[in-house]
Amino acid sequence: MNTRVAVIQNPPVLLKRDETIEQMLTLIDEAVAAGATLLVFPEAYLPGYPTWIWRLRPGGDMGLSGEIHARLRENAIDLDRDDLRPLQKAAARNAVTLVVGLHERDSRYSGTTLFNTVVVIGSDGALLNRHRKMMPTNPERMVWGQGDASGLRVVDTPAGRLGSLICWECYMPLARFALYAQDLEILINPTWDTGEIRLASLRHIAREGGCWVIATATAMEGRDVPEDFPERDRLFSADEWINPGDATVVAPSGEVVAGPLHQQKGILYADIDIQAARRARRTLDVGGHYGRPDIFSLSVNREPLPPVVFSDDYPPQRHLDREF
């Protein structure tokens, strides 16, 4: 039985959480109407990837950096505050699985440090997994703290066994293997990366892991940045493509079956057969017989990053068992 996937790369309303969520609800309705049951949003989609960090002058734009970051922090997602509740209700109402990239503000940790996080919301509205990017890249380290491996796991969904790696985490061989070894069938890669080298990597990963690979960045032009963004006209040109998107779906064989959706704001659809992933590992199963477990082993520390104040119920379970 095939599953229809919707890979969404429309621009968010940058630095505006509530407006972006409203837009996401509209996009969910559009994808559901097209028959999709697995919906994927890009890296840091709520409230938008911090593309400005690649344009600010180190040491020369400190005031501007502080102003933008303050807005970002106020619009980040706090899971304890139920900021994702509208999306969870939409997932349950439509019986679809959502994969969403976001800026996470953990009030139990400090309330100030942000994390680059991807969450999987199940078809019943439950939060199935939260994975925080383990190593922010270059200037991203001025925005996000380092995540842990507590979310480096594969979860069951109606579409198949699904795991996520954020952007350049897919270049981390041990992180990939940690998912392969959990009977991974679908690898989701919310990213800001685009282009031919990235596409070659996605095809390699699909063949290596014997899994479907679904990836997308955010298709965004300068004109998509809200007018009230601090010093927008200095940082962005209205006619430039800040990111071309390049949403892509790759089969376990390494064949590109949909995309890249280049310089187009919209939704890329693909029908995937999960049995193809299971069949692909008959001869090459790097998490099984082909990995020579008698020779090699991998140890993963999945202890969650501790909050400032320890508590007996960390991490809280109410997000995992809430009904809608």
Name the residues annotated as catalytic: 43, 133, 167
Nearby residues of 130 by Cβ (< 8 Å), 6 or more positions away: 79, 104, 117, 118, 119, 150, 151
Alpha-carbon distance 137 to 274, whole Å?
A: 32
Contact call for residues 37 and 123 (beta carbons, < 8 A)? yes
Pairing of strands 160-164, 186-190: parallel
Alpha-carbon distance 223 to 238, whole Å?
A: 4
Q: How many CB atoms lie within 10 A of CB 324?
A: 12
Helix (H) or strand (E) holding 205: helix 196-209
Task: Go through the chain and tell me how many residues it has.
Answer: 324
Rounded to the nearest angstrom, the gap between the alpha carbon of residue 81 and the centroid of all alpha carbons in its chain is: 20
